[in-house]
Amino acid sequence: MLPLDDLTVLDFSTLLPGPLASLFLAEAGARVIRIERPGGEEMRRFPPRFGETSAPYAVLNRGKASVEIDLKAEGALARLTPLIEGADILIEQFRPGVMDRLGFGHETLSLINPRLIYCSISGYGQSGPRAGEAGHDINYQAIGGLLGQSLKPGDPPPLPPPLAADIAGGTMPALLNILLALRQRERSGLGCHLDIAMVDAMPTFAWYGLAQGQAEGRYPQGGEGLLTGASPRYGLYATADSWFLAVGAIEAKFWEIFCETIGLELALRDDRNDPQGTRTAIAAIIAGQPAAHWREQLEPRDCCCTVVRTLEEALADPHLTVRGLFDAQAEEPGCRRLVSTPLPLAPVFRDKLTGLRRVAASGEDTKNLLG
């Protein structure tokens, strides 16, 4: 028995936040039906290809049914009404107002199914001055003050690899609020409309800077925060072979072990005196040896120092593999298999017998589900 195996989800969303949210729900047992436009949703055409579909699409959509329908066509609502009547959750990711114009807005569908939990994911939310604006992950991070935590004027860093707004601002809040709405529905018998704005979670990540700014009367500028560049105890240091050591030795016990292991001179270990001088000295020491040396010397010392792994190395990491992160596989319509998107679901909430699940061809289930 899985926690969500009695629920049905209609997923109208595209690209990343919504499909990743419905993947979580599917892995926990829910029946997920993708509602796609004729020819399939846009991500089915994203490179690179893998067999008969897109690899990015495949890793997000295993184990889901696929229905193709033109939502603008006359009678579209009538055709989908039986599915809406039997659904528990609906996820959509259009700009605010689009679903209303198509005739699939919350007010309309709640009349068909009052128990429906209707989750709208958008960049800026259903209301507010920016509600109708287009955007992507980097824009939401910029507006929400998150990017500014580490930017120094005139010195742009590499683009941050985590899609923090899409996943931590879209997918995760959608899941959290859907589960809360299910709990509320148990008591009230009614569904609700969830307004998930990806930008809303960005100040959450700036929690330390918010606290610091209010307490000190001055908000930290780019690179001035404890975790954004001000401290030599937390950062990246280049090695002799042009790779990187990630140092997170914030606490005194870890800092002492780190300093002792690399042989930092005693006068620089009190980094309150001259943080930049300490950083410069550390950088010179780390740059004197290759990454393999620091992996051997520092990682066994348990001092929050880790040589950066490439994604390829992470796939083979003994700790990550024994945790089963890469066990789930997606099989595209042509029967080729690839590792699905790893999900941090507790094993007790996952079906251990479904390590392999198919990715439906676009519209594969239309006739069966719509007639």
Q: Are 123 and 139 in contact (CB under 8 A)?
A: yes
227, 206 contact by CB (below 8 A): no
Calculate ∠ Cα 226-232-235, nearest 5°: 75
| Nearest alpha-carbon partner for 91 in 142, 143, 162, 41 | 41
Q: Which residues contact 321 (CB under 8 A, 6 or more apart)?
A: 315
Q: How far apart are alpha carbons 325 and 341 in whole angstroms?
A: 9
The amino acid sitting at 92 is E
Task: For residue 190, give the nearest of 100, 116, 104 by alpha carbon.
Answer: 116
Place of tokens 């290759």: 290
- Which tokens sit at 61? 């959509």
User: Residue 290: CA atoms inside 13 Å, Cβ hemisphere, count?
Assistant: 2
Rounded to whole angstroms, the Cα distance separating 362 from 61 reads 11
H or E element that contains 364 = none
Q: What are phi and psi of 206, to 5 degrees?
A: -95, 25
Identified catalytic residue from 11, 137, 166, 200:
166
166 an active-site residue?
yes
155 catalytic residue (yes or no)? no
Helices (H) and strands (E) in the chain, counts: 15, 14
Instruction: Please name the helix (run of DSSP H) or strand (run of DSSP E) that holds residue 251, with its range, or none.
Output: none
CA distances from 301 to 11, 288, 297 (A): 47, 19, 7
Report how far Cα 207 is from the mean position of its chain's Cα atoms: 19
Q: Using the Cα atoms of residue 103, residue 108, residue 112 and residue 118 in order, give the sign of their dihedral.
A: positive
Structure tokens at 7: 């629920």
The secondary structure of residue 340, as a DSSP letter, is P
Query: Which sequence positions are flagged as catalytic?
Result: 136, 166
